[in-house]
A and B are shown apart, each in its own frame.
Chain A
């Protein structure tokens, strides 16, 4: 190593203009080697609004602290739950063929979403790929959408899961919203929703939550879904379903897929992102599935090949452990039956929490209306708390939740 002062030419490409200057580098150490600060321009990223809550919670030393931030199911003692059906399949075959496992997972996932007797399932007119849970499935679709419809934006309900806009933006797809939540009634703003669907340009891409809307917990009724589906046909819109809570809304897997089945009946060629993070408690394993319905089996093969190519340049193949668990559970009738039961238990507990919370608030003679707590569906309560009120809950009471007022139901 030859210590010597170096002349640096600094290029400010980052600023879009070229500003060249030469500076004699000041060496502050006896090593006298000048290091060009490549990362000087990198500013700290804002904390993720959801996972940032957990980070703050973990750093808090108060013994009474509670974490209502991340959507992860907990038991009555506030502990994470490993489902029994997953326990059974722990020592699943190590030498499994990854491709076969992946196909099995897709086959079973698709049956779960569309119904095992659905035509698309029987005829195989869909492209399906295992994905990195819900996020990964959405990202694959976003990249695929941009590749083949580069000018088309995506419409999200307002509000939606905070990561949705990040996903489509990083895939370079323009992002729009349609009206959804009515803050005064704390319910669905159906008329405005229908207007926005009608006013959007024909053949737009829409992201829909088929059940247990995140973060509001507000879902359309079956009748409303039928109207939405009809209008989608009139406008030739593309429906993309983000299915993160199948089983968690009503406790019944088929019931929770009702919206999807309505759209299928109406002949839509939909897309669907499925996550097994919550309903199988496999959060950390990143298991999900992306499916895209196609006009025929031949097109399905073409679409699948493109999806595989997108995945290959992102992570090559998905992690096998979670895939093995899910495909085994879904394809073994006994284990699957056990799972269905466990999902019902989880959903019931959440419904119980909702009732208990509402009763407790009403008993405290709160002047406010707390009906929405039991009207809303799924893992979250959209409390209606403002950002300032949330900050106060964190500061004074060590209760952690996201600043949009979304709380997860856990032990109380």
Chain B
């Protein structure tokens, strides 16, 4: 396991972690007329046994049932924003969360979103429950956006689409489906991957293992390693793939490489599971960015796709996304959809309405849709400009001859700098640059004006810290 993977798994205990053996404590405590008994669970990673001895001393005071609850570690990604907020240095820079910012480093509400919301207010729509599967108009447009409206999978009604709570919620529904219908099946995730993937599969009790992806030596894709690891996995595994703009590496397979990945997946009877969080953000084109998903669908493969509108429509806090399951038949799709609903009902009953309506209005209206495409290109364009400026600054300032071109080659919101944990800490402690400990910076949080400062910080951390 690379050090980056270890860091990313900080927030939750991996299912195969070895744990110290806890003493099986059975204590009896008299409180009033009744009694409390504590039966210690062996090997429960969440319970702190040490505190129990304190309870017997304070029998007269209210004792909480949750005495044994330990403090969970801060989330490796969201925790960065918390630390950033607490910092008072005026030079501070937040390159942690993947949230798009303008050149002035302000959050950006898209014009089309404002227009859609005004339309919604004018219409005076009610706030009734959505059906469990979500807003029908949203489900229709989201599947069409992903596959293309004239795609056979859509025409033949072979896609089960259920509105989910952005990417996380959609992934969780899929994980729950896998756990229920493919007990014991593993999910293969890239090394590295988005920090929350492991939490989701852990909490859903789905085992996972990693396939090689990022090669630190080339700062590129370890394609042979990836193919080998996918081949070596037990037949019928789920392979989690980033549809475009891989997070955190920023490195995507080429179309030829996608074909070979599809080959090996078919060969091993694996099932592809796409996480599409950046459609439109990678190249600036919504269709181009759906290329990998469409390639697999065109082969007649069954697949899962989780979508998020957090970034590309700037709807982060509205929690809007979807889980799509492409099946061999319309009948299977109907059945799968019913089971996804059955999993969603005991999780949150039905999904939130606001974000769904915004997306349905934007994507469903030709004028708004075109406007959105233009705004999408503008956002993706700003990130490309920032990449160029950062690359130029680094090349100009760094005299060591190190090749910084990976910054230009990488794609999407993030750059995987190759900085290790100690170097990343230096970025924060000395330079007040906030990023995740795996060396990932979010270029969406960088302005042209700050590129030179960042270049200084990166050069210092890279060369002077080990």
Bound form: Cα–Cα A43–B331 in Å: 10
Verify if B339 is at the interface (C-beta below 8 Å from A): yes
Of A31, A163, A315, which is within 8 A of B166 by CB? Answer: A315
Which residue of B is nearest A233, CB measured?
A: B32
User: What is the 8 Å Cβ interface bit string for chain B, positions 84-110, against chain A (1 contact, 0 not)?
Assistant: 000000000000000000000011010
Q: In the complex, are the beta carbons of B199 and A312 less than 8 A apart?
A: yes
Query: Do residues A315 and B185 form an inter-chain contact, with CB atoms below 8 A?
Result: no
Q: In the complex, are the beta carbons of A321 and B109 less than 8 A apart?
A: no
Q: Does B287 contact A (CB under 8 A)?
A: no
Residue from A54, A284, A314 within 8 A of B168 (CB atoms): A314
User: Is B440 close to A, CB under 8 A?
Assistant: no
In the complex, number of A-B residue pairs with CB atoms less than 8 Å apart: 272
The answer to whether A86 touches B66, judged by C-beta atoms less than 8 angstroms apart, is no
Q: Is the CB of B335 within 8 A of A42?
A: yes
Which one of A79, A82, A148 lies within 8 Å of B47 (CB-CB)?
A148
**Given contact pairs A14-B181, A45-B338, A39 touches B352 in the complex (Cβ within 8 A):** no
Q: Give CA–CA (A295, B65) in the complex, Å.
A: 9
**Hey, what's the 0/1 contact readout for A282-301 against B, CB within 8 Å counting as 1?**
11111000001111000101
Residues in B282-322 with C-beta less than 8 Å from chain A: 298-302, 317-319
B169 touches A315 (CB 8 A): yes
* Stretch from B123-131, B359-367, B423-431, B446-454 contacting the other chain: B123-131
Contact of B203 with A314 in the complex, beta carbons under 8 Å: yes
CA distance A102 to B110 in the complex (A): 23
Interface bin, chain B? 35 or more
Contact assessment for A31 and B300 in the assembled complex, using a CB-CB cutoff below 8 Å: yes
Encoded as 1 (CB less than 8 Å from any A CB) or 0, chain B from 247 to 287 comes to 00000000000000000000001010000000000000000
- Decide if A35 is an interface residue (CB 8 Å cutoff): yes
Q: How many residues of A contact B (CB 8 A)?
A: 93
> Known contacts A285-B354, A295-B61: does B342 contact A306 (CB below 8 Å)?
no
Residue of A nearest to B61 (CB): A295
Contacts of B354 in A (CB 8 A): 284-285, 319, 321-322
Q: Which B339-362 residues have C-beta < 8 A from chain A?
A: 339, 341-343, 345-355
Choose one: A72, A285, A299, A316; the contact of B196 (CB below 8 Å).
Answer: A316
Would A135 and B347 be within 8 Å (CB), given that A306-B46, A309-B72 are in contact?
yes
CB distance from A243 to the nearest CB of B (A): 16
- Which among B78, B167, B333 has the highest number of chain A CB atoms within 10 Å? B78
Which residue of the partner chain B has the closest CB to A32?
A: B300
Q: Which of B15-23, B36-44, B208-216, B402-410 contacts A (4 or more CB under 8 A)?
A: B36-44
B203's contact among A91, A143, A202, by CB below 8 Å, is which?
Answer: A143
Distance in angstroms between the alpha carbons of A166 and B349 in the assembled complex: 11
Residues 28-43 of A contacting B (Cβ, < 8 Å): 31, 33, 35-43
Interface residues of A (CB under 8 A from B): 1, 8-9, 11, 13-14, 31, 33, 35-45, 48, 51, 54-55, 70, 72, 79-82, 86, 90-91, 94-95, 98, 132-136, 139, 143, 147-151, 163, 166-167, 169-171, 202-203, 233-236, 238, 267, 269, 277, 281-286, 292-295, 299, 301-303, 305-306, 308-310, 312-322
Among all A-B residue pairs, the 8 with the closest Cβ atoms: A284-B353, A320-B317, A315-B165, A319-B352, A166-B346, A132-B348, A305-B72, A135-B349
Given contacts A44-B338, A313-B172, 6 further A-B contacts (CB under 8 A): A35-B302, A147-B46, A295-B63, A309-B11, A313-B202, A322-B354
